[in-house]
A = this chain, B = another copy of it.
Amino acid sequence: MTREERFQQIAKELGYSFDGEIKVGGNYAPLVRHQNTIYISGQIPRIGNHVVIQGALGADVSLEAGQVAAKICVMRAVALLLKQLGSLEQVQKILRISVYVQSSASFTQQSEVSDGASEVLYSIFGDAGVHSRTSVGVFQLPKNAPVEIDFVVAVD
Contact = CB atoms under 8 A, between A and B. Distances in A.
A136 B141 contact: yes
Contacts of A141: 108, 110, 136-137
Interface stretch (A5-13, A14-22, A37-45): A37-45
Integer count of this chain's copies in the complex: 3
A134 B37 contact: no
Contacts of A36: 34-35
A148 B121 contact: no
A40 B41 CA distance: 18
25 contacts: A25-B111, A26-B111, A26-B118, A27-B121, A28-B97, A28-B114, A28-B118, A29-B130, A30-B132, A32-B130, A34-B92, A37-B95, A39-B96, A40-B132, A41-B133, A42-B133, A98-B150, A103-B139, A103-B140, A107-B140, A108-B143, A132-B150, A135-B148, A136-B142, A137-B139
